[in-house]
Structure 1
Amino acid sequence: MARQLFFALGLLAILGLASAGKRVLVLLPNVNEAEKYSKFFGSLRDAGFDVTFKGVRDSSLKLKEYGTWLYDDLVLFAPKSEGFGGSVDQQTILDFVDSGHNVLLAVNTDVSEALRNLAAEFGVDVDDRGSKVFDHFNHATLDGQEDHTLIAAGDLVDAPVMVGGPYKEPVLFRGVASTIPGDSELATVVLGAPSTAYSFVKSGVQEPPTLMVGSAISLVTAVQARNNARMVVAGSLDMFTDKFFDALVTVNGASSHTANWAFTVTLARWAFQDRGVLVASNLRHHLLGSDEQPWGYRVNDDVEFLVDVVEVEGGVSKPYVADDIQLEFIMLNPYIRQPLQHDGKGTFSLRFKVPDVYGVFKYFVDYSHRGYSYIKLTHQVPVRPFKHNEYERFLTCAYPYYASAISVMLAFFGLGFFFLYNK
């Protein structure tokens, strides 16, 4: 009976993970434009997402009702919009992210100030309205027309869990550039511009040289907040269209299809926490030779720490395998910091000797690997000194003191004997 109950609870937990993050709200200038992205949203539906389309200015628009979020993920495909309908505004979207939900934002060269400000809140600086990314060396020819703003990009982040790949075909991009601060710890350039690209505003007025050139340009940026909420800011709306999915382009004389379909769908699934999600559970520790978890330890005890880590993809859990998860045993400062060993089945463990320092320690696991959700675990445990009856009868370190005491006694008796029996 207990085994059946455990199995039922585990199944419910897996189903809960599988159903989490499935309700997606898509905001468009008008719902009829959804046809331009039919393959993209069709792939999301095939992955199990419940996609709802609404106009960005819909008066009935709302993300939250009676304290409950109505959606798990938000897609913004309305770059020209200066505001939102209903009860949605920038602060509502930020609260949506703060509560652990995800946002996919795609803009273009006509990006509004409102969406530029929203992207800035995510830590991504989108270039000025009207600017475009140009490349006179790595551009593509589409439908027989050469377009220097149609970038054939291939500089993908080295994180297959985020973007899939590597791809032999180029990812087509036509839109606006972005940058991220150099000291940013949360943002990642998912798709970088070629070294020959630059951002520029074409106008009749002579413009000063742009400072946004080459590797400084981010075409697609991903941000994972500290609460594991995910945001993606794409500078091109066209890259999600059926036209770019089916395009046959010519780059430097070579013809090929594009990788836009695989790239955008994989990235969207990652953004909606359908990929790259780590779940840590069953933290435990015990003395070597015992299976019971004690209330605390004695200095110099030999202990073992264990934790289970699984990767969830598409609602299916599988053991996570990595060599870079570390355990720290901390009292103000780490006394022990060592990598955990894995058994290939999702269990990570470490055997170590408790330091010869007593006090309140804590186990601490702080794991962040690009493309995966963060793991932060803490568990407090006291460490006590030896009791008076737990020491050895004679301590090796005390031999000099034993010798000095014995020498004093011998000297006393020798002096007394000499005083009493010597005239």
Structure 2
Amino acid sequence: MARQLLLALALLAAIHCACAAKSVLVLLQSGTTADKYSGFIDGLGAAGFAVEVKGHKDTGLKLREYGTWLYDDLVLFAPKAEGFGGSIDQQTILDFVDSGHNVLLAVNSEVSEAMRNLAAEFGVDLDDRGTKLFDHFSYATTADGKHDHNLVASYDLADAPVIVGGPYKDPVLFRGLAATVPADAELATVVLSAPATSYSHDPRKSMLEPPSLMVGAAASLVTAVQARNNARMVVAGSTDMFSNDLAGSANRAFCLTLALWAFQERGVLVASNLRHHLLGSDEQPAGYRVNDEVEFAVDVMEVTGGVAKPYKVDDLQVEFVMLNPYIRLPLQHDGQGVFSLRFMVPDVYGVFKYVVDYSRRGYSYIKLTHQVPVRPFKHNEYERFLVCAYPYYASALSVMLAFFSLSFFFLYHK
């Protein structure tokens, strides 16, 4: 009987895992181009995703049905698309992101205005249609041995291993369209920059003067964006970098790692079990008294590929806030994912909040708040004798002694 119960539980666990597989919709310029990206798509399948590949003009396309999203993630490899089939449009994709889902967008030099507008919604300004990235120093050769100055070889990866993986011995190869990202963009990270010797230009036009914007490291080749709701978007200026033709370099590993990050299989932080209590007690009180000694704790785990492990950093802070932070201190971790801090409640009463606001490049944001009131001492909680008040006690006693001495002397002596 016990064995049957164990088998039933194992079956239920297997069914749960199968049902929990994330679904990815891949929209291509044409359904016949699926073989071009078969290595990348197979890599997603090997990572545990349920991948569905369709052409962007398929009449049965839909992301949502009866208010329920049908997919967890969306891949757009249709750079020339001016629209989509079925019920998908730009607003639907933006709603998809607003609901916490993820998008991987790749374009090329033939990018349509619709795709440029979608990338702009993600905070990435793609260069004009027809322009290409050139580099006469950092370039690669094609399979037939020809020098291709449009096939740019870049080692300029962001210092964010959780997004880009690596380190890689070979460069990442890029053939396509450059982009710019505002310097003050808080949510965007340029994960692959152009080499210093590269520039963007439309080869059909004459170059009367050197380009001023899309030059060198100012040109973004791949940009990662994480919205405030932790939805993730990746905008790549090259569809070829995901293709089988360039899989022999570092592209295969880089593109797959980038996709895993975009689909929240890497760099996901889960904070839970926020708690606080007075020292010497395990119960969480409804409020504090000024100058109480308390302990605050929260559990933070890093989830990679569905596996949770303790998060270990020294820059996670907690604030004790009433309008302004009265206390801001780093949390100490025990190596098991528990971050805690002991401190004394400030000598100010009012309504305070615990605030944990953590953002680190490549990792999902943590935003936790918990409200707790702080009251003053009650009338019967004050100490009756204070060490700091001894001079006042002595002055009162001296006045009393002087009064009795003067009275005794006045009454009993002439």
Q: Distance in 2 between matches of 1:18 and 1:374?
A: 28
Q: Report the CA distance between 1:402 and its aligned residue.
A: 2.9
Bigger mean CA offset, 91-100 vs 329-338: 329-338
- Provide the residue aligned with 2:52 in structure 1: 52
Find the residue that maps to 1:383 and give its secondary structure: strand
**Aligned partners of 2:225 and 2:234 also within 8 Å:** yes
Q: Distance in 2 between matches of 1:208 and 1:65?
A: 52
Task: Indicate yes or no: 2:175 matched with 1:174.
Answer: yes
Q: Report the CA distance between 1:166 and its aligned residue.
A: 0.8
Bigger mean CA offset, 101-110 vs 412-421: 412-421
The letter for the 2-side match of 1:186 is L
- Provide the residue aligned with 2:331 in structure 1: 340
- The structure-2 alpha-carbon separation of the partners of 1:275 and 1:213, relative to structure 1 and needing over 3 Å to count, comes to same
Task: Indicate yes or no: 2:269 matched with 1:278.
Answer: yes
Q: Distance in 2 between matches of 1:360 and 1:229?
A: 32
- Provide the residue aligned with 2:131 in structure 1: 131
- Provide the residue aligned with 2:7 in structure 1: none
Q: Distance in 2 between matches of 1:342 and 1:16?
A: 32
- The structure-2 alpha-carbon separation of the partners of 1:101 and 1:18, relative to structure 1 and needing over 3 Å to count, comes to farther
- Provide the residue aligned with 1:161 in structure 2: 162
Q: Distance in 2 between matches of 1:390 and 1:172?
A: 72
Find the residue that maps to 1:86 and give its secondary structure: coil
- The structure-2 alpha-carbon separation of the partners of 1:104 and 1:67, relative to structure 1 and needing over 3 Å to count, comes to same
Q: Report the CA distance between 1:40 and its aligned residue.
A: 0.3
Q: Distance in 2 between matches of 1:377 and 1:13?
A: 31
Q: Distance in 2 between matches of 1:422 and 1:199?
A: 112
Q: Distance in 2 between matches of 1:43 and 1:205?
A: 42
Q: Distance in 2 between matches of 1:32 and 1:111?
A: 19
Q: Distance in 2 between matches of 1:157 and 1:179?
A: 15
**Aligned partners of 2:21 and 2:48 also within 8 Å:** no
Q: Distance in 1 between matches of 2:14 and 2:170?
A: 36
- Provide the residue aligned with 1:217 in structure 2: 219
Q: Distance in 2 between matches of 1:358 and 1:32?
A: 68
- Provide the residue aligned with 1:90 in structure 2: 90
* Deviations 1:325-344 (CA, angstroms, capped at 9, x unpaired): 11111111111111111111
Q: Report the CA distance between 1:412 and its aligned residue.
A: 4.4
- The structure-2 alpha-carbon separation of the partners of 1:365 and 1:204, relative to structure 1 and needing over 3 Å to count, comes to closer
Pick from 382, 389, 401 the counterpart of residue 391 of structure 1.
Answer: 382
* Deviations 1:292-322 (CA, angstroms, capped at 9, x unpaired): 1111111111111111111111111111111
- Provide the residue aligned with 1:6 in structure 2: none
**Aligned partners of 1:278 and 1:372 also within 8 Å:** yes
Task: Indicate yes or no: 2:324 matched with 1:323.
Answer: no
- The structure-2 alpha-carbon separation of the partners of 1:272 and 1:20, relative to structure 1 and needing over 3 Å to count, comes to farther
- Provide the residue aligned with 2:346 in structure 1: 355
Find the residue that maps to 2:270 and give its secondary structure: strand
- The structure-2 alpha-carbon separation of the partners of 1:135 and 1:15, relative to structure 1 and needing over 3 Å to count, comes to farther
**Aligned partners of 1:15 and 1:315 also within 8 Å:** no
- Provide the residue aligned with 2:231 in structure 1: 229
**Aligned partners of 1:131 and 1:176 also within 8 Å:** yes
Identity, in percent, stands at 74
Bigger mean CA offset, 143-152 vs 205-214: 205-214
- Provide the residue aligned with 1:261 in structure 2: 252
**Aligned partners of 2:139 and 2:148 also within 8 Å:** yes
Q: Distance in 2 between matches of 1:116 and 1:14?
A: 42
* Deviations 1:241-272 (CA, angstroms, capped at 9, x unpaired): 011003xxxxxxxxxxx100000001001000
* Deviations 1:43-82 (CA, angstroms, capped at 9, x unpaired): 1001111111121122221111111111110110000111
Find the residue that maps to 2:45 and give its secondary structure: helix
Q: Report the CA distance between 1:169 and its aligned residue.
A: 0.8
- Provide the residue aligned with 1:22 in structure 2: 22
Compute the RMSD of aligned alpha carbons: 2.2
Q: Distance in 2 between matches of 1:18 and 1:413?
A: 93
Q: Distance in 2 between matches of 1:357 and 1:20?
A: 49
The letter for the 1-side match of 2:125 is D
- Provide the residue aligned with 2:198 in structure 1: 197
**Aligned partners of 1:21 and 1:72 also within 8 Å:** no
* Deviations 1:334-364 (CA, angstroms, capped at 9, x unpaired): 1111111111111111111111111111111
Find the residue that maps to 1:156 and give its secondary structure: coil
Q: Distance in 1 between matches of 2:13 and 2:368?
A: 20
- The structure-2 alpha-carbon separation of the partners of 1:364 and 1:18, relative to structure 1 and needing over 3 Å to count, comes to farther
The letter for the 2-side match of 1:365 is V
Task: Indicate yes or no: 2:273 matched with 1:244.
Answer: no
- The structure-2 alpha-carbon separation of the partners of 1:187 and 1:13, relative to structure 1 and needing over 3 Å to count, comes to farther
The letter for the 1-side match of 2:115 is L
Give the structure-1-normalised TM-score. 0.90
Q: Distance in 2 between matches of 1:18 and 1:184?
A: 38
- The structure-2 alpha-carbon separation of the partners of 1:259 and 1:419, relative to structure 1 and needing over 3 Å to count, comes to same
Give the structure-2-normalised TM-score. 0.92
